[in-house]
Structure 1
Amino acid sequence: MDLQQIAYFVQVADLCSFSRAAHVLGVTQPALSRQVSLLEAELGCRLLHRHGRGVVPTEAGQRMLAHGQALLAHAEQVKRDVRAVIDTGAGRVSIGLPPRVAHCLTPVLLRAFRDSDPQVAINVVEALSAQLREALLAGRLDLALLYDPPATSQLDCVPLFREEMVLVGHPPDGDRLPAAIPVADLGRYPMILPSRPNAIRTVVEAACRTQDVALDIVAEVDAVHTQLRMAAEGQGYTVLPRSTLSATARAADLAWAPIGSPALRNRLVLATSRSKPPGAAGGAVGALIQRIDWTALFEGRPALP
């Protein structure tokens, strides 16, 4: 066995898919399948059960998954211990941020570390939460802020903030949105939502499934400013965090109402990889992020005590 084969198997078993694992790892699916087959041949047993929708670990695979995760974590710890011998105190931290968070948070982060830790270089990567999660799992980021990430044993997630979701649109002349909109009524509105995978789409669809609501999706649009423009022109309604409205010039052209029964809230978390925990500099960035007053940040007020 070698660590690469183990890492490949762990990724496939965790994602339950050779194709998704190959994408995250940056290898071809045949090469990935061959490495897993070699591992199975060496162990003399099947580790994965293949079916039409992907793969699931066998009983032996589940045991190998637990050992594999522990081995990979130990290997990373060995690297950190060795590197600590020559650590000069300087650090470079790569952090992934969703665009709306990056717009507000990046100046605060850079200012704080320029003043207190000038040797720490921060690299900010902006992308959607689904893309940032994949980059974090692949080891290309030290930490990331994610909206409503799917559960996985490979990430540690610290809750940071929950925000009210609202329905946004431009009702026809003479009409008004109600004071609050039950989830059960969302099917009455033509919806402009981002395409999958997307955190907001996942939250909305999950809530609608619990009440057997069929959404009327008239367009799939990933860019928030385009969603808002279409909503302001009366082409449909979208669902966004409430603070998004305070950051758009189109807010005056839009009506909005909170979604209730149950209330929809997103969940922002600080995520780190268990196989590649952040070093000292990354830990300092994570600690500062956990001190942020997120309501103040999104409202444009001072966000650090």
Structure 2
Amino acid sequence: MQTPKATGFQLDIAADLHKWRTFLAIGELGSLTRAALFLDSNQSLLSRQLNALERECGARLFTRTGRGVELSEVGRRIFPQVRALLADAEQLEREIRGEARELTGRVTLGSLPSIGHPLVGRLFTEVRSRHPGVHLKILEGSSGQVEEWLADARVDIAILYRYGASLPEHEQALATVDSYLIGARGDTLTTAAEVPFASLHELPFILPSAPNGLRTALDAMARQERITLAPAIEADSLPLQKLLVEQERLYTVLPLHAVWQEMQERKLQAARIVSPSLQRSVSMAMARQKGPAKAVSAVAALIVQIVDEMAQRGMWRPSTPE
């Protein structure tokens, strides 16, 4: 009977997979700074890890450029093998931890405040009920900030407003929202269900400052319609906008879901802007090469479901006709 023999693997520089995770992140993002953000680390630590890895390999893995770093000839040659190695290691870890049976991991969502406020509470409840092993992290910011977080892979999922008929590639339309003129309780202009865009001429507004997607669209439409938008004050804070509309009887322009609670409490009024209307899409985008894939997909599916249910309540309209 032949005696069984153990496989004679001899590992040296491939023994520590964390340093190869650093190599992969830098190679994909082309920047130590972006890689540090992606890995929740710091640039100096990644630089030391990269230097140590290059010493162990006896070759330069990257070349420095004016805009960051790029893979050297050696780096490009081994990059696919390193990616495959880490993918196999991640699959093994998931099987050991039982992720195939129960979803686990942290999913980071980046959103605008006006979208996040009505969505996040319900999302947290659903995730905790259906996937208790999944931990949510929420980041709120301006459109520019959310897009930057998405590009840097600081978020797994981004919820954004988009203007225009088409969406960027790889984004999913969730809903269509109309713009409303928001006024204080008892205001005569916003008592009606609809208000012509021309009625916004020289109203005392509180509006976000440029650059801002809504502000840019409003200013462009005002020029087109030959009216003057006159902000009495500019503020990017959504709570402040709503507070000053209520207390100082200013006006602002928001989607209906952003003032849903205040309307239920009869603190604010809303009239849909028409002739012409100002519409935007709520879209969802997911970062590539980030987060536990199954958990991210599960959270994204819950977001779609919740947005559809909110459409049934009248907060916005479905992205496609029913």
Aligned pairs, how many?
253
**Distance in 2, Cα, partners of 1:169 & 1:74:** 60
Larger deviation, residues 159-168 vs 240-249: 240-249
Say what the alpha-carbon RMSD is for the aligned residues: 4.3
Question: Partner of 1:295 in structure 2?
Answer: 311
Question: Partner of 1:261 in structure 2?
Answer: 275
Cα distance 1:285–1:77, how it changes in 2: closer, same or farther (>3 A)?
farther
Q: TM-score, normalised to structure 1's length?
A: 0.64
2:145 matches 1:128: no
The structural deviation recorded for 1:158 is: 0.7
**Distance in 1, Cα, partners of 2:278 & 2:83:** 38
Question: Partner of 1:217 in structure 2?
Answer: 231
Deviations 1:241-267 (A, max 9, x none): 123333127964544321112212232
* Aligned partner of residue 175 in structure 2, secondary structure: strand
* Aligned partner of residue 201 in structure 2, secondary structure: helix
Specify the structure having the higher radius of gyration (Cα).
2
Map 1:1-305 onto structure 2 (within 5 A).
4=26, 7-8=29-30, 35-36=65-66, 79-80=86-87, 82-87=89-94, 88=97, 89=99, 90-148=104-162, 156-170=170-184, 176-177=189-190, 180-234=194-248, 236-248=250-262, 252=266, 254-274=268-288, 276=290, 279-292=293-306, 293-296=309-312
**Distance in 2, Cα, partners of 1:191 & 1:73:** 55
Letter of the 1:283 counterpart? S
**Distance in 1, Cα, partners of 2:167 & 2:83:** 19
Q: TM-score, normalised to structure 2's length?
A: 0.62
**Distance in 1, Cα, partners of 2:185 & 2:310:** 31
**Distance in 2, Cα, partners of 1:100 & 1:291:** 18
Cα distance 1:297–1:281, how it changes in 2: closer, same or farther (>3 A)?
farther
Structure 1 portions without partners, runs of 5+: 12-20, 28-33, 43-67, 300-305
Cα distance 1:279–1:6, how it changes in 2: closer, same or farther (>3 A)?
closer
Letter of the 1:192 counterpart? I
